[in-house]
Amino acid sequence: MDWNRLKTEFKRSLDYNIFVFVGYSMSDPDFRQIYMEYQDGLKLRSDYEDAKKTYVVNKHSDIHSYRLAKQVWDSRKATLLPLDAEDFLKELWDSVQLRGTKELKKKVASRLSIELNVFDAQINELKKSFGFTEDDAIHYLDIMTRGRERNESRN
C-alpha cells in the first residue's frame, strides 16, 4: 500500500467530502494510524457553517458499549451510526433508490406536463393493466417520454 499517496488523498478530501467509516474500529492498526494522524482535521471540519460530516458505522453488542462508543465519537465530532455494515449499506441503497425514483417521477411528470397525483394514477393503471411494479411503470414511462424531452430541447 502506498501510504504517502493514501495520506495525501485523505488530507485533500478533508475539506470536500463526507466521511463514512464502515466496519472499522480503533483496534484496526491501519485505521487507527490514519485516524489519529488526521483527527484534528476531522474535528475542525464540524466547526464550519457548511461542515462536512464524519460518520462511523459500528454495531455494538449491548447498550453500555454503545453509550461508551457514542461518547467517544461525539467527543471526536463524529456521528455514530449503530448498524453493522450490511444493514447500513442496505439502508443506504434503499435511500438512494427511493430518492432516484422520486426524482424520476418528477422528471417524467414534468415531461408529460401533468401533476404528480395524475402521474400516480397513470402508474396505477400500468400496474393493473400490465402487472408492472411501480418502478417498472415509472421506467416504462421514462423510456416512452424521452423523445419528448429531446424534441422540446431542439425547439
The letter for the amino acid at 35 is Y
Closest listed residue to residue 81, CA positions, set 6, 145, 22: 22
Closest listed residue to residue 14, CA positions, set 47, 46, 37, 45: 45
Residue 80 in 3-state DSSP? Answer: strand
The letter for the amino acid at 28 is D
141 Cβ contact list (under 8 Å, min separation 6): 108, 112, 119, 122, 123, 126
| CA pseudo-torsion sign 65, 67, 73, 76 | negative
Overall size of the chain counted in residues: 155
- pLDDT tens readout for residues 31-41: 888 788 887 77
Residue that has been written with the C-alpha cell 454503545 in this structure = 66
**pTM beyond 0.85:** no
Ranges of each domain in the chain: 3-83, 89-154
- pLDDT tens readout for residues 74-133: 888 888 999 999 999 998 888 888 888 889 999 999 999 999 999 999 999 999 999 999
- pLDDT tens readout for residues 38-64: 877 777 776 665 667 888 998 888 999
